[in-house]
Protein backbone atom coordinates (compact mmCIF):
# COMPACT_ATOMS: atom_id res chain seq x y z
CA UNK A 1 0.00 0.00 0.00
CA UNK A 2 1.73 3.17 -1.21
CA UNK A 3 -0.90 5.64 0.06
CA UNK A 4 -3.78 5.76 2.50
CA UNK A 5 -7.35 6.75 1.72
CA UNK A 6 -8.21 9.00 4.64
CA UNK A 7 -11.94 8.82 3.92
CA UNK A 8 -11.77 5.06 4.53
CA UNK A 9 -9.77 5.71 7.70
CA UNK A 10 -12.36 8.24 8.91
CA UNK A 11 -15.20 5.77 8.42
CA UNK A 12 -13.28 3.10 10.32
CA UNK A 13 -12.44 5.54 13.15
CA UNK A 14 -16.09 6.63 13.41
CA UNK A 15 -17.31 3.02 13.66
CA UNK A 16 -14.92 2.39 16.54
CA UNK A 17 -15.90 5.64 18.27
CA UNK A 18 -19.65 5.07 17.86
CA UNK A 19 -19.52 1.35 18.62
CA UNK A 20 -21.40 0.11 15.56
CA UNK A 21 -21.75 0.56 11.81
CA UNK A 22 -25.36 1.69 12.19
CA UNK A 23 -24.49 4.50 14.63
CA UNK A 24 -21.52 5.54 12.51
CA UNK A 25 -23.76 5.71 9.44
CA UNK A 26 -26.19 7.95 11.31
CA UNK A 27 -23.41 10.25 12.43
CA UNK A 28 -21.91 10.51 8.93
CA UNK A 29 -25.31 10.68 7.17
CA UNK A 30 -24.48 7.60 5.09
CA UNK A 31 -26.03 4.15 4.73
CA UNK A 32 -24.66 1.16 6.66
CA UNK A 33 -23.76 -0.70 3.41
CA UNK A 34 -21.69 2.31 2.31
CA UNK A 35 -19.78 2.29 5.61
CA UNK A 36 -19.24 -1.48 5.39
CA UNK A 37 -17.93 -1.13 1.85
CA UNK A 38 -15.48 1.60 2.83
CA UNK A 39 -14.10 -0.46 5.73
CA UNK A 40 -13.75 -3.48 3.42
CA UNK A 41 -11.79 -1.29 1.01
CA UNK A 42 -9.48 -0.21 3.86
CA UNK A 43 -8.96 -3.83 4.89
CA UNK A 44 -8.14 -4.77 1.29
CA UNK A 45 -5.63 -1.91 1.07
CA UNK A 46 -3.96 -2.92 4.34
CA UNK A 47 -4.17 -6.61 3.61
CA UNK A 48 -5.53 -7.59 7.03
CA UNK A 49 -8.86 -7.74 8.86
CA UNK A 50 -9.67 -4.84 11.17
CA UNK A 51 -12.73 -6.34 12.87
CA UNK A 52 -13.98 -9.76 13.86
CA UNK A 53 -17.47 -10.66 15.00
CA UNK A 54 -18.02 -11.95 18.51
CA UNK A 55 -21.61 -12.66 19.54
CA UNK A 56 -22.98 -10.28 16.88
CA UNK A 57 -20.58 -7.54 18.02
CA UNK A 58 -17.73 -6.01 16.06
CA UNK A 59 -14.44 -6.40 17.95
CA UNK A 60 -11.12 -4.93 16.86
CA UNK A 61 -8.40 -7.32 15.81
CA UNK A 62 -4.81 -6.67 16.87
CA UNK A 63 -4.25 -4.89 13.54
CA UNK A 64 -7.47 -2.99 14.07
CA UNK A 65 -6.28 -1.72 17.45
CA UNK A 66 -3.02 -0.55 15.90
CA UNK A 67 -4.79 1.24 13.04
CA UNK A 68 -7.24 2.85 15.46
CA UNK A 69 -4.43 4.13 17.66
CA UNK A 70 -2.78 5.84 14.69
CA UNK A 71 -6.13 7.08 13.35
CA UNK A 72 -6.86 8.64 16.73
CA UNK A 73 -3.60 10.55 16.57
CA UNK A 74 -4.03 11.55 12.91
CA UNK A 75 -7.51 12.99 13.42
CA UNK A 76 -6.44 14.56 16.73
CA UNK A 77 -3.69 16.45 14.90
CA UNK A 78 -6.24 17.44 12.27
CA UNK A 79 -8.51 18.92 14.95
CA UNK A 80 -5.53 20.76 16.44
CA UNK A 81 -4.80 22.24 13.01
CA UNK A 82 -8.36 23.51 12.63
CA UNK A 83 -8.38 24.89 16.17
CA UNK A 84 -5.10 26.69 15.57
CA UNK A 85 -6.50 28.29 12.42
CA UNK A 86 -9.80 29.24 14.04
CA UNK A 87 -8.22 30.44 17.25
CA UNK A 88 -7.12 33.73 15.79
CA UNK A 89 -9.59 35.36 13.40
CA UNK A 90 -8.21 38.36 11.55
CA UNK A 91 -7.72 41.30 13.86
CA UNK A 92 -8.58 39.34 17.02
CA UNK A 93 -6.27 37.97 19.70
CA UNK A 94 -5.55 34.26 19.91
CA UNK A 95 -7.37 32.25 22.56
CA UNK A 96 -6.18 29.90 25.31
CA UNK A 97 -8.81 27.65 26.89
CA UNK A 98 -7.66 26.37 30.29
CA UNK A 99 -9.39 23.74 32.38
CA UNK A 100 -8.90 24.39 36.11
CA UNK A 101 -9.49 21.52 38.54
CA UNK A 102 -11.81 22.67 41.32
CA UNK A 103 -9.26 21.63 43.95
CA UNK A 104 -6.60 23.99 42.59
CA UNK A 105 -5.74 26.97 44.83
CA UNK A 106 -7.05 29.98 42.96
CA UNK A 107 -4.04 32.13 43.85
CA UNK A 108 -1.75 29.49 42.33
CA UNK A 109 -3.88 29.50 39.17
CA UNK A 110 -3.72 33.29 39.01
CA UNK A 111 0.07 33.31 39.36
CA UNK A 112 0.56 30.48 36.84
CA UNK A 113 -1.62 32.18 34.24
CA UNK A 114 -0.12 35.66 34.70
CA UNK A 115 2.18 35.44 31.63
CA UNK A 116 -0.77 34.56 29.37
CA UNK A 117 -2.23 38.02 29.95
CA UNK A 118 0.95 39.65 28.65
CA UNK A 119 1.56 37.62 25.48
CA UNK A 120 2.79 39.60 22.45
CA UNK A 121 -0.10 40.30 20.14
CA UNK A 122 -2.64 39.70 22.87
CA UNK A 123 -4.23 36.50 24.15
CA UNK A 124 -7.82 35.95 25.24
CA UNK A 125 -7.89 33.67 28.28
CA UNK A 126 -10.86 31.35 28.90
CA UNK A 127 -10.94 29.40 32.20
CA UNK A 128 -13.33 26.51 32.80
CA UNK A 129 -13.53 24.95 36.27
CA UNK A 130 -14.67 21.38 36.95
CA UNK A 131 -13.49 18.08 38.37
CA UNK A 132 -10.24 16.69 36.97
CA UNK A 133 -12.09 13.73 35.45
CA UNK A 134 -14.47 15.93 33.44
CA UNK A 135 -11.69 18.27 32.38
CA UNK A 136 -9.56 15.38 31.08
CA UNK A 137 -12.52 14.17 29.05
CA UNK A 138 -12.88 17.66 27.55
CA UNK A 139 -9.14 17.73 26.86
CA UNK A 140 -9.42 14.45 24.96
CA UNK A 141 -12.10 16.05 22.78
CA UNK A 142 -9.79 19.05 22.18
CA UNK A 143 -12.22 21.40 23.90
CA UNK A 144 -9.38 22.58 26.14
CA UNK A 145 -5.78 23.52 25.42
CA UNK A 146 -4.44 22.52 28.84
CA UNK A 147 -5.65 21.36 32.26
CA UNK A 148 -4.24 22.66 35.55
CA UNK A 149 -4.54 20.19 38.42
CA UNK A 150 -2.90 19.00 41.64
CA UNK A 151 -2.24 15.42 40.52
CA UNK A 152 -0.81 13.70 37.44
CA UNK A 153 -3.19 11.97 35.09
CA UNK A 154 -4.05 8.51 36.53
CA UNK A 155 -2.60 5.61 34.51
CA UNK A 156 -6.04 4.02 34.10
CA UNK A 157 -7.53 7.09 32.38
CA UNK A 158 -7.81 6.34 28.67
CA UNK A 159 -6.82 9.77 27.42
CA UNK A 160 -3.82 10.37 25.19
CA UNK A 161 -2.27 13.21 27.16
CA UNK A 162 0.91 14.06 29.03
CA UNK A 163 1.78 15.38 32.50
CA UNK A 164 4.01 18.46 32.77
CA UNK A 165 5.14 19.22 36.33
CA UNK A 166 4.85 22.94 37.10
CA UNK A 167 6.38 22.72 40.54
CA UNK A 168 6.00 21.70 44.14
CA UNK A 169 5.25 23.60 47.33
CA UNK A 170 5.33 22.68 50.97
CA UNK A 171 2.08 23.14 52.92
CA UNK A 172 1.46 25.81 55.57
CA UNK A 173 -1.38 26.03 58.09
CA UNK A 174 -2.98 29.46 58.70
CA UNK A 175 -5.35 30.90 61.32
CA UNK A 176 -6.50 34.25 62.69
CA UNK A 177 -3.61 35.97 64.53
CA UNK A 178 -4.57 35.13 68.14
CA UNK A 179 -5.17 31.45 67.40
CA UNK A 180 -2.06 31.23 65.22
CA UNK A 181 0.14 32.57 68.03
CA UNK A 182 -1.24 30.11 70.59
CA UNK A 183 -0.83 27.12 68.26
CA UNK A 184 2.66 28.04 67.04
CA UNK A 185 4.27 27.34 70.43
CA UNK A 186 3.86 23.55 70.36
CA UNK A 187 3.23 23.04 66.64
CA UNK A 188 2.28 20.51 65.32
CA UNK A 189 1.25 18.73 68.57
CA UNK A 190 -0.88 21.79 69.41
CA UNK A 191 -3.29 20.85 66.61
CA UNK A 192 -4.98 18.16 68.73
CA UNK A 193 -8.74 18.91 68.95
CA UNK A 194 -8.27 22.21 67.08
CA UNK A 195 -11.04 23.07 64.55
CA UNK A 196 -9.69 22.42 61.07
CA UNK A 197 -10.88 23.25 57.53
CA UNK A 198 -9.73 20.74 54.92
CA UNK A 199 -10.14 19.82 51.26
CA UNK A 200 -12.48 16.88 50.62
CA UNK A 201 -10.99 13.36 50.91
CA UNK A 202 -10.81 13.00 47.11
CA UNK A 203 -8.01 15.57 46.88
CA UNK A 204 -4.34 14.64 46.86
CA UNK A 205 -3.58 17.27 49.53
CA UNK A 206 -6.19 15.89 51.91
CA UNK A 207 -4.75 12.39 51.70
CA UNK A 208 -1.25 13.70 52.46
CA UNK A 209 -2.49 15.71 55.45
CA UNK A 210 -4.46 12.74 56.82
CA UNK A 211 -1.34 10.57 56.56
CA UNK A 212 0.71 13.19 58.41
CA UNK A 213 -1.81 13.42 61.27
CA UNK A 214 -2.06 9.63 61.54
CA UNK A 215 1.74 9.23 61.62
CA UNK A 216 2.07 11.82 64.39
CA UNK A 217 -1.05 10.69 66.30
CA UNK A 218 -2.61 14.13 66.00
CA UNK A 219 -6.43 14.26 66.05
CA UNK A 220 -7.68 17.69 64.97
CA UNK A 221 -11.41 18.34 64.83
CA UNK A 222 -12.45 18.63 61.16
CA UNK A 223 -15.35 21.08 61.12
CA UNK A 224 -15.76 21.54 57.36
CA UNK A 225 -14.56 20.10 54.04
CA UNK A 226 -14.43 21.90 50.69
CA UNK A 227 -13.97 21.14 47.01
CA UNK A 228 -13.38 24.84 46.36
CA UNK A 229 -10.11 26.04 47.88
CA UNK A 230 -11.20 29.69 47.68
CA UNK A 231 -14.31 29.00 49.76
CA UNK A 232 -12.17 27.14 52.30
CA UNK A 233 -10.03 30.27 52.78
CA UNK A 234 -13.10 32.49 53.20
CA UNK A 235 -14.24 30.30 56.09
CA UNK A 236 -10.71 30.50 57.51
CA UNK A 237 -10.79 34.29 57.20
CA UNK A 238 -13.98 34.30 59.30
CA UNK A 239 -12.25 32.35 62.08
CA UNK A 240 -14.09 29.05 61.61
CA UNK A 241 -10.86 27.07 61.82
CA UNK A 242 -7.25 26.50 60.84
CA UNK A 243 -6.73 25.89 57.10
CA UNK A 244 -3.92 24.68 54.79
CA UNK A 245 -2.51 26.34 51.68
CA UNK A 246 0.71 26.16 49.60
CA UNK A 247 3.71 27.69 51.36
CA UNK A 248 4.66 29.65 48.22
CA UNK A 249 1.54 31.75 48.85
CA UNK A 250 2.20 32.58 52.51
CA UNK A 251 2.63 36.33 52.03
CA UNK A 252 -0.34 36.63 49.65
CA UNK A 253 -2.65 34.66 51.97
CA UNK A 254 -1.65 36.56 55.09
CA UNK A 255 -2.18 39.92 53.35
CA UNK A 256 -5.44 38.95 51.62
CA UNK A 257 -7.21 37.08 54.43
CA UNK A 258 -5.81 38.78 57.53
CA UNK A 259 -4.38 35.54 58.95
CA UNK A 260 -0.99 34.45 60.29
CA UNK A 261 1.17 31.38 59.79
CA UNK A 262 0.64 28.61 62.34
CA UNK A 263 3.43 26.46 60.92
CA UNK A 264 4.53 24.33 58.01
CA UNK A 265 3.60 20.66 57.96
CA UNK A 266 6.84 18.61 57.85
CA UNK A 267 7.07 16.19 54.93
CA UNK A 268 3.76 17.36 53.42
CA UNK A 269 3.92 18.96 49.99
CA UNK A 270 1.65 19.62 47.06
CA UNK A 271 2.53 19.28 43.39
CA UNK A 272 0.88 21.08 40.50
CA UNK A 273 0.65 19.94 36.89
CA UNK A 274 -0.27 21.14 33.44
CA UNK A 275 -1.77 18.29 31.39
CA UNK A 276 -1.89 18.60 27.62
CA UNK A 277 -2.27 16.45 24.53
CA UNK A 278 1.23 17.54 23.54
CA UNK A 279 4.17 15.45 24.67
CA UNK A 280 6.39 18.46 23.97
CA UNK A 281 4.67 21.77 24.69
CA UNK A 282 4.42 24.03 21.65
CA UNK A 283 1.52 26.42 22.35
CA UNK A 284 3.35 29.69 23.10
CA UNK A 285 1.04 30.65 25.97
CA UNK A 286 1.32 27.22 27.63
CA UNK A 287 5.11 27.32 27.22
CA UNK A 288 5.21 30.80 28.80
CA UNK A 289 3.11 29.85 31.81
CA UNK A 290 5.02 26.63 32.53
CA UNK A 291 8.36 28.44 32.33
CA UNK A 292 7.08 31.18 34.65
CA UNK A 293 5.87 28.58 37.17
CA UNK A 294 9.14 26.65 37.17
CA UNK A 295 11.54 29.58 37.22
CA UNK A 296 9.66 32.04 39.44
CA UNK A 297 6.64 30.76 41.35
CA UNK A 298 8.11 27.43 42.49
CA UNK A 299 11.78 28.32 42.10
CA UNK A 300 12.58 28.13 45.81
CA UNK A 301 10.56 24.95 46.39
CA UNK A 302 12.60 22.07 45.00
CA UNK A 303 10.61 18.92 44.14
CA UNK A 304 11.33 15.93 46.35
CA UNK A 305 11.96 12.50 44.91
CATH class in words for 6-86 = mainly alpha
CATH class in words for 90-305 = alpha beta
Burial of 103 (0-12, 13-18, 19+ CB in 10 A): buried
Which spans in the chain are helix H? Answer: 6-18, 21-28, 32-46, 62-86, 106-113, 132-140, 177-184, 204-215, 229-237, 250-257, 284-292
Note the pLDDT of residue 86: 57
Could you give the CA distance from residue 221 to residue 275 in angstroms, rounded to a whole number? 35
Name the average pLDDT for the chain.
87
Note the pLDDT of residue 303: 41
Per-residue pLDDT of 17-54, as tens digits, reads 888 899 888 888 888 898 899 899 999 888 899 998 88
Q: What is the pTM of this model?
A: 0.66
CATH 1.10.10.10 positions along the chain are 6-86
CATH 3.40.190.290 positions along the chain are 90-305
Residues in the chain, pLDDT under 50: 1, 302-305
Note the pLDDT of residue 247: 95
Sign of CA dihedral 111, 113, 116, 117: negative
Per-residue pLDDT of 200-244, as tens digits, reads 988 889 999 999 999 999 999 999 999 888 899 999 999 999 999
Note the pLDDT of residue 131: 87
Amino acid sequence: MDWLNYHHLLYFHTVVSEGSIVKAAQRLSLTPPTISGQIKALEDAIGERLFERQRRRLVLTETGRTVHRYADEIFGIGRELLEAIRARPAGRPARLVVGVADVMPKLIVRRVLEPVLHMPGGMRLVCREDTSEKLLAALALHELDVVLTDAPMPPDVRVRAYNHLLGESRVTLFALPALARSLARRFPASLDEVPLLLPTPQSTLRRSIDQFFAAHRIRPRVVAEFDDSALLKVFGEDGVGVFPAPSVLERDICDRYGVKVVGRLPDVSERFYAISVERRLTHPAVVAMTQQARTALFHDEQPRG
